[in-house]
């Protein structure tokens, strides 16, 4: 398989076609699964997914690219199975993903997702949580009916992924307002489990349904774990410096919540004057206005936090792509999976050359 890490325009077009194909194959089954929920919870879930307005009127669109479903489908293809074999697992991973988003929006007090009010804002906290629970329950019922291999049953694979996601989310909550003198990479990497655990579950479910050997499944999960770290770090960068019009979320989101994300941790550990000034400002209490948030973002950048985060994200992506070649899967299919891996970072706009490394977090995420 190809070992490059830059997604060419041609490869980008192929990824778009692949995503559209996987989405077309799995979306009907996903709609059916959501439709089997309690009517009120089905409407909340459908709203969250972008299918309808709060009153239930169809929007005619579906928000999101269904990347996780595509990961499951492509993982199955890498070990010789067709798309149809992977669809139940792909749908289950999307249900788990959206369960986590419904809960995450509430825990982070996010009021916007994809440019629309989040489900908890529209329907209330309790109903939104219950809708997330319903999606998770449906996913687990679906996986209970999947077989996979004796060594790696598909149902157990996704159940373990859910446990990992929950542990990661618990660690992530601990990053809010984390004391500046106790910032550490281990705490951050523990929180990355909320992303890496799900991605590992996606590829493992797909591969298990294709009767992949256990060693291949484990290596595929390891690749997805690195992809998850890269994804989370890139998302942290976007949360501070991303375009709200493109992300559908307010600027400076994580700084607004006083969350110790990777760029912030890197800046605080940089040993720079800007990092020291950042620590002093973060230690102060009280609400922060837009000018203060912009100044915090500038200090993070000046201290090297943004450059270090972008370098680290690319490093983990490189490692993920390298591990794909060791899974023993079909090289052509793995090339498609590698292209999808690269797409994850490219969609965050991370095509810039890797910046010079700072001492802030060198080796911390290895």
Instruction: Dig out the tokens for 39 from the structure.
Output: 């009517």
What is the Cα–Cα distance from 183 to 268, expressed in whole angstroms?
8
pLDDT in tens, the chain (366 residues): 444 445 566 778 889 999 999 999 999 999 999 999 999 999 999 999 999 999 999 998 876 789 999 999 999 999 999 999 999 999 999 999 999 999 999 998 989 998 899 999 999 999 999 999 999 999 999 988 887 656 567 788 899 999 999 999 999 888 776 676 676 778 899 999 999 999 999 999 999 999 999 999 999 999 999 999 999 999 999 989 988 877 767 788 888 888 889 999 999 999 999 999 999 998 887 778 889 999 999 999 999 999 999 999 999 999 999 999 999 999 999 999 999 999 988 876 543 333 344 444 444 444
Give whole-number Cα distances, 224 to 37, 142, 302, 319, in Å. 30, 22, 31, 10
- Amino acid 185: pLDDT: 79
Question: Phi and psi dihedrals of 51, rounded to 5?
Answer: -80, -25
Inter-axis angle of helices 154-173 and 125-144, nearest 10:
150
Q: What does the alpha-carbon distance between residue 189 and residue 203 come to, in Å, rounded to a whole number? A: 20
- Dist. CA 25–CA 84, nearest whole Å: 8
Phi and psi torsions of 209, nearest 5°: -65, -20
Distance CA 210, CA 141 (A): 20
What DSSP character marks residue 113? E
Res 363: pLDDT = 44
pTM of the model: 0.88
Q: What is the 8-class DSSP label of residue 325? A: T
Kindly report, residue by residue over 248-270, the tens digit of the pLDDT: 677 888 888 888 899 999 999 99
Cα–Cα distance between 66 and 139 in angstroms, integer?
15
CB 18 within 8 A of CB 74: yes
Q: What residue ranges do the domains of the chain occupy?
A: 9-346
- Spatial separation of the C-alpha atoms in residues 90 and 87, rounded to whole Å: 5
Long-range contacts of 120-126 (CB under 8 A, 24+ apart): 122/47, 122/54, 123/44, 123/47, 123/54
Helix axes 290-302, 273-283, angle to 10 degrees: 150
The answer to whether the CB of 114 falls within 8 A of the CB of 90 is no
Task: Categorise residue 118: left if φ over 0, alpha if ψ from -120 to 50, beta otherwise.
Answer: beta
Q: Crossing angle, helix 305-324 and helix 331-346, to 10 degrees?
A: 170
The C-alpha atoms of residue 138 and residue 158 are separated, in whole angstroms, by 12
Tokens at residue 164, please? Answer: 């990992």
pLDDT of residue 361: 44
* CATH class of domain segment(s) 9-346: mainly alpha
Question: Whose structure tokens read 């239930």?
Answer: 56
């Amino acid at each position: 398989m190809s070992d490059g890490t830059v997604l060419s325009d041609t490869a980008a077009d192929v990824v778009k076609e692949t995503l559209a194909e996987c989405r077309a194959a799995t979306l009907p089954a996903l709609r059916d699964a959501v439709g089997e929920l309690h009517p009120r919870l089905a409407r909340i879930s459908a709203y969250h997914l972008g299918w309808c307005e709060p009153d239930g009127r169809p929007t005619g669109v579906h928000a999101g690219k269904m990347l996780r479903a595509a990961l499951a489908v492509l993982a199955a293809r890498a070990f010789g199975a067709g798309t149809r074999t992977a669809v139940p697992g792909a749908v289950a991973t999307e249900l788990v993903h959206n369960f986590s988003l419904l809960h995450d929006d509430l825990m982070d007090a996010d009021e916007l997702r994809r440019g629309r009010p989040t489900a908890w804002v529209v329907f209330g906290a309790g109903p939104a949580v219950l809708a997330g629970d319903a999606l998770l329950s449906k996913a687990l019922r679906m996986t209970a009916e999947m077989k996979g291999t004796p060594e790696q049953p598909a149902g157990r694979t996704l159940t373990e992924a859910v446990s990992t996601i929950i542990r990661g989310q618990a660690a992530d909550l601990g990053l809010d307002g984390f004391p500046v003198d106790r910032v550490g990479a281990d705490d951050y990497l523990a929180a990355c489990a909320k992303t890496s655990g799900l991605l590992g579950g996606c590829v493992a479910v797909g591969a298990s349904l294709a009767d992949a050997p256990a060693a291949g499944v484990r290596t595929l999960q390891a690749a997805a774990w690195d992809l998850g770290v890269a994804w989370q770090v890139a998302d942290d960068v976007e949360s501070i410096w991303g375009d709200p019009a493109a992300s559908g979320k307010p600027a400076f989101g994580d700084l607004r919540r006083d969350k110790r994300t990777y760029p912030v941790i890197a800046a605080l550990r940089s040993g720079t004057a800007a990092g020291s000034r950042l620590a002093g400002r973060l230690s102060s209490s009280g609400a922060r206005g837009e000018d203060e948030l912009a100044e915090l973002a500038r200090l993070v950048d000046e201290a090297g936090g943004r450059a270090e985060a972008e370098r680290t994200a690319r490093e983990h992506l490189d490692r993920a792509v390298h591990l794909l070649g060791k899974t023993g899967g079909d090289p052509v299919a793995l090339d498609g999976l590698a292209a999808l891996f690269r797409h994850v970072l490219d969609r965050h706009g991370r095509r810039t050359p890797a910046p010079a490394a700072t001492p802030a977090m060198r080796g911390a995420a290895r």
